[in-house]
Structure formats: structure tokens, C-alpha cells
Amino acid sequence: MESRKIIQVEDKVPFRLLAPLSIQHMFAMFGASVLVPFIFGINPAIVLFMNGVGTLIFITVTKGKAPAYLGSSFAFLAPAGIVISEMGYEYALGGFVAVGFCGCILSFIIYKCGTRWIDVVLPPAAMGPVVALIGLELSGSAASNAGLLDEQIDMKNVIVFAVTLGVAVFGSVLFRGFLSVISILVAVIAGYVAAAFCGILDFSQVAAASWLSLPNFQLAKFDMSAIVMLLPVLLVIASEHIGHQVVTSKIIGRNLIEDPGLHRSLFGDNFSTMLSGLIGSVPTTTYGENIGVMAMTRVYSVQVIAGAAILSIVCSFVGKLSMLIQTIPGPVIGGISFLLYGMIGASGIRILVDSKVDYGRSRNLTLTSVVFVTGLSGIAVKFGDIQLTGMVLASVVAMVLSLIFYLLDKAGLTNDREEVE
């Protein structure tokens, strides 16, 4: 492994290697990325289309210096789910556009002021539980999708759920090489096969679908309450983006925060989200799975990433593939979601561990405690037509509390101020 040649960011890759390497990247994001449109109840073709277009935009904005593939963002699942259930998907799209636009403004602020202020507004002791709440809030829907909360539980659903979850769990531990990167995709395929054996699949829609079809474009509608519900996610995805850029920098041996600059990569990421919302797709974000592919293959060329983006765009016009994704049975999605939502929750805890949050300090213990209970208690606060609940309300409480602590620090009133840098 050590003697394998490293293909750097700007290097050209021969076609005989370009095609399989690009396919690897597309497969790496495929399993997780198509779950988001499935959960939102939309055609996955538009998502595959915008994942590809967004990635090409990102490569252009970062001058081809930051190898990253943009896939569907999980950070929006909980608040967008509430907006969709109350207002409809079009209003969630308006929220996506607003968050993307504000993210572009945020990239300019970071260009001028740096990123230190993010730790003031949403420090790790608050950021960790906010991220964890994204997964914890959704955990009930995973069991519901699998049919495990029905009054009469169908054993066929249980079998398919168990096979899917089992392959995902043990695959993440036992698979090696590229299989370890696409364990979610393998689990989806295994669950699909199990569903076929159990007789709960209906291929008639796939058979009736045409080979070629246009993605389902739709326009966004805007409502202030929907925008306010989604806006707190902005700092979460900004923090996630910074983390991904830092990890990618370590893998490729270059400082992407400096060149092409965090402001460029963050702008590309959020501009893609804004465009996605405008035409009917879900928000995009850099994908950890693709960072894993780069670490494994030691191929960092943006040409390979661009190839994967083009493949994703091509797949979005294959009608039978879109319909195949749409017919994935609920127990399969439930099995995958069971693990993924838990992993999102664990990611929040990981932020606390990686940041070495000191719970000997009163402020950290208080922040984490209040944020968790606010998000899980079911409390809802209304401001006119705007209702804040769950992770969104927890984010707002976290930011307000963090700013109050910061001001009390400046006034010299806090009892643990001597430990603040």
C-alpha cells in the first residue's frame, strides 16, 4: 500500500482508470444520498442530477483545488420533515434556497472575519448535542418505516429489516477495502434481495417506467415560518463543512483552508444548496464517504470527482433506475435508517469527544444538558405563525445561551472565566 503512487489533485488520470475510479465515488455516495429523497417522498432523479451539477459547481468555484463530492445533506431531515408535513415540499425548497443564500453570505463573513466567532455562537458543548438531536429526533421514523410500530407486525417486514440492518452493521465491521466504503449500498441491495424472497416487492412500476426520462423539476415557494425553521441548520452545516475540509487537507497533504480558501469551498457548497432548492432538489454537502474513498485509493484528482458527477447526472435521466430506487421497501429503508440516524447521533457525541469538552466547567455541562432536554422534550415555542420545536428550538436556545455566557465572560461575572482563552 505504501508503494502505491499518489495521484494528486491536479493530475490527469488515463480513461482506463478514470471510469472505474469515478464509478467508485458515485457508488460511495449513492446508498446514503438516495435515502434523503426517499424520506422526503420525492423522485430521486432530481437529486442525482443536482448532486452532479453541484459537484461540478463546487470544483469550478474552488478552481479545481478541492477534491470533494457533494451529496444529499442529512442535517436538514428533522426540520424539513416538519415543514413538509405542515406546508408541503415546495415550502421546504424555499427554506433550502434561503439557507443556501445565507450560507453564501456566511462565506463572505468568514473571508473577512475568520471562523473563531462560530465557536462563540455555537461552541462544541452546544454543537455536539445539536448534531446528535438530528439523528435522535428521527429515530422513531426509522422504526415506523420498517413497520415495527404497527399494531400487527408482519414477520416478513421484520426479516427484511433484520437482514438490511445486519448487513449494514456487520458490513461496517467486517468489510475490507472498497466494500467497507459502500457498506450502506451493499446493505440496501441485500435488503432488496431479501424483500424479493419475502414477496413484498412490486416490480410492475419499474417494468412500466421508460428507460429515458427527465428529472422532476419543481419551483420553490417561500414562507417566513418555513425559512426560520430551517435557518438554524446553517451553522451546523458550516461546522460540518469545515471539519470535512480539515480532514481532506490532512489526507491530500495540502491546506485547503488557505488554498483555495474556506470561503470558496463554503460558497460552492451553499451555492449548490441554493440552486438545488430553486429547481426542486435537496440541500447538498461534502460527503465523508468520498473522503474515505480518497484515503483508500490515494487518488485525489478532481478529474475523477468530476467524472463521478457526470455519471450521476447521466443516471438521473435513466427512468427505470429512478423507479427502482422509489420502490425500495419500507423495511429496507427502516433498517438503513436505524443505523444512519444512530450514527448521526453518535457524530454529535464525537464532536464532544474530539473537542475535548471539559464537563468540569459549569457552562459546558449546562449547555449540553439544556440543549438535549430542549430538543427531546417536545416543547414548542410560537412567534406569531412561526413555531420552533425539536432540534431547531434547541439550536436557537444554544446560540442565545452561548452568547449570554460570552457577554458574562466579558463582564467578568462567570465563575469559570479564568479557563476561557
* Residue 256 DSSP label: T
**Cα radius of gyration (the chain):** 21
Q: How many residues does the chain have?
A: 421
Distances (CA, A) of 10 to 146, 267, 271, 279: 45, 21, 23, 31
How much of the chain exceeds pLDDT 70, in percent? 95
- Judged against a pLDDT cut of 70, whether residue 345 lies above it is answered with yes
Would you state the torsion angle of the CA atoms of residues 254, 106, 307, 74, taken in this order, to the nearest 10 degrees? 110
Domain hosting 36: range is: 15-410
- Judged against a pLDDT cut of 90, whether residue 14 lies above it is answered with no
Q: How confident is the model at residue 181 (pLDDT cuts 50, 70, 90)?
A: low
Query: Residue 257: inside a domain, yes or no?
Result: yes
Report the mean per-residue pLDDT for the chain.
Answer: 85
First and final C-alpha spacing in the chain:
42
Nearest to 372 by CA among 340, 338, 395: 395
Q: Among 19-23, 290-294, 402-406, which stretch is predicted with the lowest mean pLDDT?
A: 290-294
Q: For residue 379, what pLDDT is reported?
A: 86
Mean pLDDT over 155-172 rounds to: 90
- Judged against a pLDDT cut of 50, whether residue 383 lies above it is answered with yes
- Judged against a pLDDT cut of 60, whether residue 300 lies above it is answered with yes
Omega cis (within 30) before 331: no
Cell (9 digits) for 299: 487518488
Q: For residue 282, what pLDDT is reported?
A: 93
Query: Residue 10: inside a domain, yes or no?
Result: no
Q: For residue 313, what pLDDT is reported?
A: 93
Distance CA 342, CA 131 (A): 11
Distance CA 189, CA 112 (A): 47
Other C-beta atoms closer than 10 Å to the C-beta of 203 total 11
Distance CA 207, CA 191 (A): 20
Give SS3 for 219: coil
Would you state the torsion angle of the CA atoms of residues 63, 69, 74, 77, taken in this order, to the nearest 10 degrees? 70
Give SS3 for 382: strand
Residue with cell 453570505: 105
Q: How confident is the model at residue 2 (pLDDT cuts 50, 70, 90)?
A: very low
Query: Residue 85: inside a domain, yes or no?
Result: yes
Distances (CA, A) of 203 to 39, 106, 414: 20, 46, 64
Query: Residue 5: inside a domain, yes or no?
Result: no
Query: Residue 152: inside a domain, yes or no?
Result: yes
Please, are residues 144 and 138 in contact by the beta-carbon 8 Å criterion?
A: no
Distance CA 252, CA 126 (A): 30
**DSSP secondary structure of 355-402:** TT--TTSHHHHHHHHHHHHHHHS--EEEETTEEEEHHHHHHHHHHHHH
Mean pLDDT over 296-316 rounds to: 87
Please, are residues 98 and 411 in contact by the beta-carbon 8 Å criterion?
A: no
Would you state the torsion angle of the CA atoms of residues 325, 326, 332, 335, taken in this order, to the nearest 10 degrees? 100
Q: Partners of 128 in the beta sheet?
A: none
pLDDT digit string, tens, across residues 75-94: 888 889 889 998 999 999 99
What's the structural domain count of the chain? 1
- Judged against a pLDDT cut of 80, whether residue 334 lies above it is answered with yes
Nearest to 265 by CA among 75, 94, 106: 106
- Judged against a pLDDT cut of 70, whether residue 159 lies above it is answered with yes
Q: For residue 107, what pLDDT is reported?
A: 93
Q: Where do the H-state alpha helices sit in 41-123?
A: 44-61, 77-86, 89-113, 116-121
Please, are residues 331 and 315 in contact by the beta-carbon 8 Å criterion?
A: no
Q: For residue 4, what pLDDT is reported?
A: 54
Give SS3 for 318: strand
Distance CA 245, CA 367 (A): 27
Label residue 71 left, alpha or beta by phi (over 0 means left) and psi (-120 to 50 means alpha). Answer: beta
Nearest to 245 by CA among 282, 281, 294: 294
Query: Residue 157: inside a domain, yes or no?
Result: yes
Query: Residue 421: inside a domain, yes or no?
Result: no
- Judged against a pLDDT cut of 70, whether residue 246 lies above it is answered with yes
Q: How confident is the model at residue 337 (pLDDT cuts 50, 70, 90)?
A: confident
- Secondary structure tally for the chain: helices H, strands E: 20, 4
Query: Residue 19: inside a domain, yes or no?
Result: yes
pLDDT digit string, tens, across residues 263-298: 999 999 999 999 999 999 999 988 766 777 777 677
Distance CA 259, CA 77 (A): 32
pLDDT digit string, tens, across residues 36-75: 887 888 888 899 999 999 999 999 999 999 998 898 888 8
